[in-house]
Chains A and B, each alone.
Chain A
Amino acid sequence: MNSSQSPVGGEPTGSAPSDAANTADGMLAELLGQARFGFAVTDAIGVVQMINAALVCTAQWPSDDAAIGSLLGEQMAKGFPTAASRLQATFAGSESRSLCIDSPAGRYLLHVAAPQGGLRTVLMCPLADGPIEESSGLVPVLTHGRSNLINQQLLDRAIGQWSPGGPGPRSLVLLLVSLNRFNGVNDTLGYDVGDALLDLVAKRLQSITREGDMIMHLGGNEFAVLSTTGQQPTGALSVGKRIADLIGRVFLVKGHQVHIDASVGIAVLDGGTGQRSDLVRHADLAVRSIKGTSGGVRLFDPKMQDTAVRQRELEIALRRALVLNEFVLHYQPQLDLSTQQVIGFEALIRWQSGQHGMVSPADFIPLAEQLGEINAIGEWTVRTACAEAARWPSHISIAVNVSPVQFERGDLVGVIRSALTDSGLPPERLEIEITEGLLLSDSPTVLEQLRALQAMGLGVALDDFGTGFSSLSYLSSFPFCKLKIDRSFVQDESDRAQALVRSILALAKSLGLTTLAEGVETEQQHRALIEGGCDSAQGFLFGRPIPVDRLGDLIPRTEGSPA
C-alpha cells in the first residue's frame, strides 16, 4: 500500500531537489517516504504540515498535495468511522495519546505526540490481530525495513521522556536483543522470509513483555525492548532469559524451519547505569560481551567498559604496530628425530607494544583478523622470515603460519612468490602451516591457492592436527606434505593418548606424509615419539622460540653475519 516514490510532502511549493538525498534531511525524507508506518507533522489544531506516503494512503487522500493543509483528524474519521469521535477528540485536545483504531482494512496503532503548544508528530502503524490496551505511556512500535533511523530516534526520545510515575519502585530497563544467524536466513531463504521472521520475532517479544513496554526494531538483526518494571535487576534478567529462550525456539516461516538465537544485553537505570543517556551504550556493551553464536543474556557491568576501552586502545595500537616496527619474529628449532640435528625453524610472531607491553598472539591475531590487518602483518611475516632464512645453511627450512583470512582476502600466492624472489630463498625451504579451520570453509579457491603454492615447490603442513574435526577426508583431498601432531596428545602420557599418537603416526606414514610432534618437553615423550616412528619434533626440550640474534648458537651462519 506504499506508493513508493512520492516524497514526504513538505514545502508546498515543490519537492526537494534531488541531491538533497545526500543531506540528513534528504535521507530522512527518503526513509520516511519508504517507511511502512504512517508519519505526519501537524500544527496544534491538526492541520497537516508534512506527511509520508504510507499515511497519505491509509488516510485515503488522493495525493500528498491534497493532504497538505487539510485536517488530519477529519480525514481519518472518514476511513475509521468507529473511531471518529476519539480521533476528533485527540486532535482537538492538547495531550499526547495513543489510540487503537479499526477499519475494514485492519487495526492500527495511532500515536500523537503533542509537546507543549508546538507542532505534533503523528505515527501510525498496522497492528497484528488481538486486543491491545490503549495507553498514554510507552507504546509498542513494530516496524522494519529502512525505518531504523526513526526507531533509534524514537528510542532515544522515549528514554529521555520516561518518568518513574506510578506506584511502587519502578526503573527503566533497556534490553538490546541481537539475533544470531539472521543474516544467513536472508542470504539463503531470501528477504521475504527474513522480513516474515522479523515479524514473528517482534510478536514473540511482545508475548513476553508487559503492557506498556516498548519494542522496536532498530534495524538489521537488532531489537530494543524498553521496559519499566520493579524488582531490578532480577526482573530484567528473567525477561532477558525468557527472550533468549523463546527466540531460540524453532520458527516455521513460509514452509521453512528456521533456527536463530538471541543475545540479550541489559542495562538498568540506577542499577549499574547512572544516567539515562548511557542506557543504550551500556546495553550495547553487554550484548557485545556475549561471545559466540549461541546466544545468552548479560547484564551490563562497569568492567565491560574497561574491557571495551582496552580493546579500543589495542585496536588503535595494532593498526600502528607495523609502522612502528613493533613486531618481531622468534624462531623455534625443529629437530630430525633420527639424527637429532636441527632441520628447520618455525617463525613465531611477537608483538612488543610500546603501550601495552608484550601482547600474546592469542590476543592480537584474532583482533588483526577482525580488523583486516592480518594481511599486512602476514605479508611482513613471510617477507621477514624468508629474508632471514635465506642467510641460513641450505638444509635448514623455515615454517610460517598463515591465517585463513589471508586465503579469503588478499593475494597470498602473489605475496609468497614475491617474498621468495626478493629474498632468494629456494621455495623448497619454505613451509606454510595452516589449520583445519581453513579446510572447513570448503571453498574451491582455498584448494586452488594450496595447489598453486604446492606447484611453486613449497610445503604445506597441517597444524594442530587432532584438535579440531580431524576429518580423514581432508587428508586425501588436500595437498599436504606434513602433519603437526598437537601438543595436547604429545604431552598426555595416558595409554589412550599414546595409542592415538601411534595411530596418527602410522596413518601419516601410510599416506606418505611427514610427521612433526609439537610441544615435546620431556625425555620420556621424546623416546616415545622415536619409538613410534615420528620424523621430527619441536618443544622446550629442544629449544624455546628465540630472537634472531641468538640463533647463532643453533646454526652456523653462512654469510654476512658476525660470529
Chain B
Amino acid sequence: MQDSLYRLLYVSRSSIGGDATDLRREVDSILEVARRNNAAAGITGALMFNARFFAQALEGSQQAIERIFENIQCDLRHGSATILSFEPIEERAFLNWHMACVDQESAVLRAFNELTEGPELDPANFDGAEIFEMLQTYLRESHAA
C-alpha cells in the first residue's frame, strides 16, 4: 500500500551571518546532507534562499516529511519557520530533485528578493501559492535552458 503524498511549504529566517561566500558555503553543506537524507526518505523538493530568508518545498509521505521537518526545525542556522501549507497532493512537482536549489543569478531569485524586501517582513505574510509558483517556474526555465 502506497502512503499518500503530501507537500509542505514553509518560509524561515536565516541566521547564517557573514557574506555571500559564507552563506553559499553553509547552503552547500545543507544541500549535501539534505540530498542524502531526502533520497533515503523518499523526499523531493526545492529550496530558495537569500541573505534573510529560506523558502522550501518538501514532498513525500506525511510521516517522512514530518520527520525531516523536525530535523530542520532543530537546525540553528535558521529560525521563525512559518508553515505556509501542508496538504495532500496528486503528484510530485519536483520529481527527480531530492533538493533542487534556485540559482542565485536567476530571474526567480530576483523576484524572491523583491518579495522579501522591506524591514519588517513577517514570514507569515508570504503566500504559499506564490512561493510554490516561483519554485516551479525556476525548475521549468532551468530545464528549458
Q: Are B70 and A200 in contact (CB under 8 A)?
A: yes
Query: Per a CB cutoff under 8 Å, which of A203, A242, A255 touches B70?
Result: A203
The complex places the Cα of A242 from the Cα of B8 at a distance, in Å, of 25
Does residue B127 face the partner (Cβ distance < 8 Å to A)? no
Q: Are B73 and A257 in contact (CB under 8 A)?
A: no
Q: Which residues of A contact B73 (CB under 8 A)?
A: 204, 246, 249-251
Q: Which residues of A contact B139 (CB under 8 A)?
A: none
Q: Are A257 and B76 in contact (CB under 8 A)?
A: no
Q: Which residues of B contact A249 (CB under 8 A)?
A: 73, 79-81
Query: Per a CB cutoff under 8 Å, which of B70, B76, B79, B82 touches A252?
Result: B70
User: By the criterion of a CB under 8 Å from any partner CB, how many residues of chain A are at the interface?
Assistant: 15
Mark A110-153 against chain B: 1 for CB-CB distance below 8 A, else 0.
00000000000000000000000000000000000000000000
Q: Are B70 and A251 in contact (CB under 8 A)?
A: yes
The complex places the Cα of A246 from the Cα of B62 at a distance, in Å, of 22
Q: Are B74 and A252 in contact (CB under 8 A)?
A: no
Q: Which residues of A contact B81 (CB under 8 A)?
A: 249-250
What's the least CB distance linking B67 to chain A, in Å?
9
Does residue A270 face the partner (Cβ distance < 8 Å to B)? no
Given A249-B81, A252-B8, A252-B70, are A242 and B76 also a contact pair (CB < 8 Å)?
yes
The complex places the Cα of A251 from the Cα of B76 at a distance, in Å, of 15
Does residue B83 face the partner (Cβ distance < 8 Å to A)? yes
The complex places the Cα of A200 from the Cα of B74 at a distance, in Å, of 10
Q: Which residue of A lies closest to B63 (CB)?
A: A254
The complex places the Cα of A255 from the Cα of B62 at a distance, in Å, of 7
Does residue A207 face the partner (Cβ distance < 8 Å to B)? yes
Given A200-B70, A242-B76, are A250 and B86 also a contact pair (CB < 8 Å)?
no
Q: Which residue of A lies closest to B88 (CB)?
A: A255
Does residue A84 face the partner (Cβ distance < 8 Å to B)? no
Q: Which residue of B lies closest to A249 (CB)?
A: B73
Mark A174-217 against chain B: 1 for CB-CB distance below 8 A, else 0.
00000000000000000000000000100110010000000000
A263-298 interface (Cβ within 8 A of B)? none
Does residue A156 face the partner (Cβ distance < 8 Å to B)? no
Interface centre among A204, A251, A255 (most CB of B within 10 A): A255
Q: Which residue of A lies closest to B67 (CB)?
A: A252
Query: Would you list 16 pairs from A and B whose C-beta atoms are within 8 A, ordered by A residue?
Result: A200-B70, A203-B70, A203-B74, A204-B73, A207-B74, A245-B76, A246-B73, A246-B74, A249-B80, A250-B81, A250-B83, A252-B8, A252-B65, A255-B62, A255-B86, A257-B86
Given A203-B70, A207-B74, A245-B76, 5 new contacts (CB under 8 A):
A242-B76, A250-B82, A251-B70, A252-B66, A252-B83
By a beta-carbon cutoff of 8 Å, the part of chain A in contact with chain B is: 200, 203-204, 207, 242, 245-246, 249-255, 257
- Kindly list the 3 A-B residue pairs having the minimum CB-CB distance in the complex, ordered from nearest: A207-B74, A252-B66, A249-B73
